Amino acid sequence: MKNIMFIAPPAAGKGTQAELVVNKYKIPHISTGDILRKISTEDSEIGNYVYETLASGKLVKDEITYQLIEDRLKQDDCKNGFIIDGFPRNLEQAYEYDRILNKLGYEIGNVILINIDKKKLEKRITGRRICEDCKTIYNINDKFSSPDIDSICDNCGGKLYQRSDDNLEAFQTRYEMYQEKTEPIIDHYKKKNVLVEINGDDSIENIFNEINKIINR
Ligand code: AMP
């Protein structure tokens, strides 16, 4: 199957959709945010740097992401397609991604842009909760995706936590980063004729249906 890339502002639901795609199509989900969150828990110089940067909402240095991505894409499970989420985040990274794909003999695949306005995102960001164990994502501000009990996972009974960068202040920075740094990559993919836009202000199911149509067209 074709590879998939998601481009979306923070809290647009790309993580949720990526998990749905993973479960249905059994391809790996490569999220630089997830990889970096793991690194941020390490007690080392790089761990501390990543922790501070994530908490501020700014982007980590490009060079850190390149090695992570290349090492991950080299693994065997990526040969039959993968979802890349959170990378590239700026034009430099997009050019580097082209080089990495070329080097590994992969196609870019479908680039899916999830559009949604800022006001809706602000509401979502403060309500997002994630299960510590099975990673299911909930939103306590949205009746369609809230858990039965605010702090407990419906699926596995695990404890729900809030990401340290899911507060309005960090959101503001992340959103500005998205507009300034990430939006310019949209044109890069439009020119390559691989970009498809979908409306992110819809139910999880409807958005997933749109994504399925793109995958199966
Ligand atoms: P995400 O989970 O995609 O929202 O990413 C969370 C945070 O990780 C971002 O706000 C950045 O600080 C960092 N991050 C994720 N991907 C990248 C990337 N490709 N380049 C630089 N920083 C990134």
Distance 181 CA to ligand 1 centre (A): 12
Q: Which residues line ligand 1 (CB under 6 A)?
A: 10, 32-33, 36, 53-54, 57-60, 65, 86-87, 89, 93, 165, 174
Per-residue pLDDT at 142:
83
**Candidates 37, 58, 163, 181; catalytic one:** 163
The span from the CA of 95 to the CA of 77, in Å, is 24
Distance 214 CA to ligand 1 centre (A): 25
The span from the CA of 33 to the CA of 35, in Å, is 6
Taking residue 134's Cβ as centre, other Cβ atoms within 10 Å add up to: 12
Give the mean pLDDT per block of 10 residues along the chain (217 residues): 95 92 96 94 96 92 95 96 96 98 97 95 91 93 88 96 90 95 97 97 93 95
- The arrangement of strands across the sheet holding 137-139 comes to 137-139, 128-131, 160-161
> Rounded to 5, what percent of the chain is helix, strand, coil?
50, 15, 35
- The arrangement of strands across the sheet holding 195-199 comes to 29-31, 83-85, 4-7, 110-115, 195-199
The span from the CA of 62 to the CA of 70, in Å, is 13
DSSP string, 75-137: SGGGTT--EEES---SHHHHHHHHHHHHHHT----EEEEEE--HHHHHHHHHHEEEETTT--E
CB 111 within 8 A of CB 5: yes
Per-residue pLDDT at 144:
78
Side chain identity at residue 49, one-letter code: Y
Per-residue pLDDT at 150:
83
Per-residue pLDDT at 164:
86
Residue with tokens 């819809």: 202
**Candidates 14, 72, 124, 129; catalytic one:** 14
Its sign, for the CA torsion 92, 94, 95, 96, is positive
Distances (CA, A) of 192 to 26, 188, 202, 206: 27, 7, 27, 27
